[in-house]
Amino acid sequence: MTAVQADPVVSTPYGSVRGRYENGVAVFRGIPYAAPPFGPLRFRPPVPPEPWDGVREAVAFGPTPPKPPYSEAFAQYLSDPVVPGDDCLNLNVWTPEPGPAARLPVMVWLHGGALTRGSSGVPVYDGRPFARDGVVLVSVNYRLGVEGYGYFPDAPANPGLRDQLAALNWVHASIAAFGGDPDRVTLFGQSAGAISIGALLAAPQAHGLVRRAILQSGPPEAAERDKVRRMVRRMATRLKIPATAAAFAEVDPELLLRTQAEVGRLSSPVVGGPAFGIVVDGDLVPRDPPAALTEGDAAAGVELMLGWTRDEYRLWLVPGGLLERVDRLGAVALAGAMARCRVGADVPRGYRALHPKAGTAEIVGQMVTDHLLRLPLHRLADARPGSSYVYEFAWPSTLPDLGACHALELGFVFDTGEAPESRKLAGEGAPQELADEMHRAWVRFAADGDPGWQAWDDTHPVRIFGDGGTHTAHGPRDAELALWAAAQPREPAVTTDLADGVPARGTEMRSVVRRLRLPGAVRRH
């Protein structure tokens, strides 16, 4: 007779938790790393959770932070489960071997969602394949939207980023009991999660908590304070309240979410606009993250892996038929992209010359992708040669028009391609061998800092996943990115219409701004 494996119990600084074994992996879900951020703690930095007596059950995902749903156009591709409850600052752990003797590499996952959506409970982020391959996987919930990234005169900035720092401190203090090595922590995230990692790497308070980092489709950046202020002020105007944290804390969370969703429709990755984001606050984020990481000694010694998907922009433009609209708008759409990227006509002319068969939507999409993602990630790798590794994901979804779009690589990285939620974006027939290669590279990087290809140097090696077989190309984006170095940057417009950088003149330009709005206000996934 086979013995029944007892449920795993592990002690944390705040009390013991009981998980369960699932296919040979010990799983703990919904462990609180901070107190519920409501009542007097709303819009405030996180504080430790109340300790508990006895053993706390940790078998179900914990509550998710308040967030609006995706619009129908995006929900057909992206899953975002909701778990009600206030105790939303929680995390999950998958481990092959609980106990302090194991000393396994640790990976901490920060999800994307434009800092307004997403959670650790998305099935694509199942940590079992990482644990199967000898990694302790931790995934984190953190505050979103105005609750996590509103900018107020009477409250500290960046509470959502402070949540992530609190989770990292929890990992440093607790992960050894789950079998992890606190000195081998790899922080990885996609889109808004990657942007968050850039800020954390630049934060002195996070020094020593991270050994390695993987930034997927998100560069280090800080939002302009005025953009975030405008989001808050527009919400305050609709709610007829002062634009202060004290006033917002009195508003019902559901009403706040509805108002946030209404105001958020004015944002788009193509033409910009007010949006929530991490801001330089003089405390947790003392200076602009890209400057801190490329010009200073922030995160010295931290090894990096950086990358993007070949067709990031298609997740921004395909839902709702915006791809076809951009092609129809032609020169007007190009003018909008030039204003968004603050460059003259020489840049799109250069893209046309390099890609003579490309349509307007592809030119606009690749320009904005290069401006937002590839150019700053190139600069980061250039500043850290020898300890940076760069990749591009190029396998196209089997669904119409998506190509190798934003977020498509996630099911391959996590090796969760069989999950229905992965197939929503990838379609049917995603190659398992590609998932094996990508997942193995992420595991190798977490284990010893070498994902299996050449480190960044002046030949610009980029590992290409999924374009005629995995291989290394040298400088595959150099020609496009060189156009930006040669371009004369334009000053941002002083007076703006609905989108930042789009001059408030001319019905044609105002029309393109309206037409390029993205359903569901997904600035970035």
Residue 407 is predicted with a pLDDT of 98
Residue type, 524: R
Instruction: Read off the pLDDT of residues 76-121 as tens digits, 9 standing for 90 and up.
Output: 999 999 999 999 999 999 999 999 999 999 999 999 999 999 999 9
Residue 508 is predicted with a pLDDT of 40
Instruction: Read off the pLDDT of residues 489-498 as tens digits, 9 standing for 90 and up.
Output: 655 443 332 2
Annotation marks residue 378 as catalytic: no
> Which residues have C-beta within 8 Å of that of residue 519, sequence separation ≥ 6?
71, 72, 73, 74, 319, 320
Instruction: Please state which CATH number belongs to domain 9-521.
Output: 3.40.50.1820
Burial of 444 (0-12, 13-18, 19+ CB in 10 A): middle
Q: Per the residue annotation, which of 111, 378, 406, 460 is the catalytic one?
A: 406
The percentage of the chain sitting over the pLDDT mark of 90, rounded to a whole number, equals 84
Show the beta-strand stretches assigned E in 111-170: 136-140
The rounded mean pLDDT for the chain is 91
Whole-prediction pTM value? 0.94
Token duo for residue 491: 């000053």
Annotation marks residue 312 as catalytic: yes
> Which residues have C-beta within 8 Å of that of residue 363, sequence separation ≥ 6?
334, 337, 348, 351, 352, 355
What Å distances lie between residue 12 and 18, 170, 185, CA to CA? Answer: 11, 9, 18
Q: Per the residue annotation, which of 119, 120, 139, 191 is the catalytic one?
A: 191
Distance CA 395, CA 338 (A): 28
- Under 8 Å between Cβ of 329 and 360: yes
Residue 273 is predicted with a pLDDT of 67
Distance CA 94, CA 89 (A): 18
- Under 8 Å between Cβ of 245 and 235: no
- Under 8 Å between Cβ of 133 and 106: no
Conformation bin of residue 520: beta by default, left when phi > 0, alpha when psi is -120 to 50: left
Distance CA 187, CA 210 (A): 7
Annotation marks residue 406 as catalytic: yes
Q: Per the residue annotation, which of 147, 303, 312, 421 is the catalytic one?
A: 312
Instruction: Read off the pLDDT of residues 300-353 as tens digits, 9 standing for 90 and up.
Output: 999 999 999 999 999 999 998 889 989 888 888 888 889 889 899 999 999 999
Phi (first) and psi of residue 107, to 5 degrees: -125, 130
Which one, of 310, 300, 436, lies nearest residue 362 by Cα?
310
